[in-house]
Amino acid sequence: MEGLQLKKYAELLVRSGGNVQPGQLVVIGCAVDDAYFARIVQECAYDAGAKEVVMNWIDPASTRTRYLRAEDSVFDEFPQWRVDWYKHHDDRGAVYLHIDSSDPDYLAGVDSDRLRRFSKVSSIATKEHSALTMSNALRWSVCAIPSPAWAKKVFPDIPEAEAMEKLWAAIFKCARADGADAIADWQVHSGNFSERLDYLNKMNFDTLRITTGLGTDLTLGLVKNHIWAGGGDVGKDGVPFYPNIPTEELFTMPDRMRADGRVVASMPLSRQGNLIEGFEMTFKDGLVVSYKAEKNEQTLADIFTMDEGAKRLGEVALVADSSPIGKMGILFYNTLFDENASSHLALGKAYPNNMENGTEMTVEERVAAGCNDSFTHVDFMFGTPDMKVVGIAADGTETVFFENGDFI
């Protein structure tokens, strides 16, 4: 991959994604195998005026070895030094940039109980850090670059080098980073969200009724004074940023107690190195009351054991089937991309900024108003080319605003 194109992509992450400001601390999370790109991002962050750039290296291979060979008791503990590490950087107003290149299968075959237990203790230990990012008190952004294992998963029938080039090209296209000026293209892209967002927020629907040809038939209540968001976001410091590169979704907050019906997934879900396939779930009064999967059902079940909130919904997002990512017809095995190819729901924690004054409320006040709280947030895709959404007002008036997989 050409150095100039890599630098443009890195600048997009730094200047649009996290929107690094002069004098700001930056934390870059990246796998050790991808250090070459992290160093480019580091240089771009300093060019943007960063005070210091801290590298947070991870190693998926050694993580897998730990799950396979460490003593069982270590998966019930989370190191206090790591909690302190996050707090040290959070207290200094860090911008968190994450570079994802993970092999979708890197944890395949690992004891699911170990994965579940450590996921729970780590989520509990880092809940304050998560609350800061989900409420936009700290800016953050995530992008992706290819790894050989991921590229071969997406394109298994071609040589590795060719698969890498093909995945690079797909990522650049999805991220709208294949033009002459990616940052300017993202400003235009963000502006294109405005009309639909204005419409949805003006309509202020009480309920959505969602149906697909796969069998989804869901009646989903929205919290009172919900806010639809999409494209960019604004931190509590007033600085705009883009949490996800790419992004095509418009999303808001469901009422944690008002989901009834069946949801059938339209894409597999890559979760903790396992691919959950052919799955569905049924909701009653907001709670998952039954579920099944054709493959890795236990991995799906483990999501629900996190806490009570993991059995309820925290996000509903609409994505036009005509989005650039959807048109590609590629299964990326990566939620960052697949969620922007299809409408989706999320089990678990809701984003407080999807509710009027939500970031100013206590957790208890938000929950009382219908906001879901949990230690997890898991997106899964259910959108189809024939999906239909009917918005229902508080007075019962019905409006079809999304049909045949797209906004009307």
pLDDT at 271 over 90: no
Comparing 101-110, 216-225, 363-372, the range with the smallest average pLDDT is: 101-110
Separation of alpha carbons 10 and 141, rounded Å: 12
Beta bridge partners of 129: none
pLDDT at 3 over 90: no
Name the helix (H) or strand (E) containing 34.
none
**What confidence score (pLDDT) does residue 1 get?**
62
**What confidence score (pLDDT) does residue 128 get?**
95
**What confidence score (pLDDT) does residue 39 get?**
98
Separation of alpha carbons 278 and 293, rounded Å: 5
DSSP 8-state symbol, 380: E
Separation of alpha carbons 348 and 267, rounded Å: 19
Task: Report which residue type is found at 97.
Answer: L
Separation of alpha carbons 242 and 234, rounded Å: 8
Strands (E), 184-340: 207-211, 217-222, 229-230, 233-234, 240-241, 250-252, 254-264, 269-271, 274-276, 280-284, 287-292, 313-318
Mean local confidence (pLDDT), 48-56: 98
pLDDT at 78 over 80: yes
Mean local confidence (pLDDT), 192-200: 90
Collapsed DSSP state (helix, strand, coil) of residue 192: helix
pLDDT at 180 over 90: no
**What confidence score (pLDDT) does residue 274 get?**
82
**What confidence score (pLDDT) does residue 191 get?**
81
> Long-range contacts for 65-69 (Cβ within 8 Å, ≥24 apart)?
67/107, 67/110, 67/111, 67/114, 67/115, 67/118, 68/110
Task: Report which residue type is found at 29.
Answer: G
Report the percentage of the chain scoring pLDDT > 70.
Answer: 100
Separation of alpha carbons 82 and 98, rounded Å: 17
Q: CB–CB of 300/291 below 8 Å?
A: yes
Residue 386 structure tokens: 């024939």
What's the chain's average pLDDT? 94
**What confidence score (pLDDT) does residue 193 get?**
85
Separation of alpha carbons 404 and 382, rounded Å: 14
Instruction: For residue range 381-395, list pLDDT tens digits in order.
Output: 999 999 999 999 999
Task: Report which residue type is found at 82.
Answer: R
pLDDT at 2 over 80: no
The most confident of the ranges 19-33, 186-200, 322-336 is 19-33
Mean local confidence (pLDDT), 3-30: 96
Instruction: For residue range 288-320, list pLDDT tens digits in order.
Output: 999 999 999 999 999 999 999 999 999 999 999
Comparing 111-115, 141-145, 270-274, 386-390, the range with the smallest average pLDDT is: 270-274
pLDDT at 322 over 90: no
Roughly what angle, to the nearest 10 degrees, separates helices 297-304 and 112-125? 30
Mean local confidence (pLDDT), 369-380: 95
Separation of alpha carbons 374 and 309, rounded Å: 5
The region that residue 24 occupies, defined by phi over 0 for left and psi between -120 and 50 for alpha, beta otherwise, is: beta
Q: CB–CB of 375/127 below 8 Å?
A: yes
Separation of alpha carbons 350 and 359, rounded Å: 11
More confident residue, 185 or 1: 185
Residue 103 structure tokens: 């092999």
Roughly what angle, to the nearest 10 degrees, separates helices 127-134 and 112-125? 70
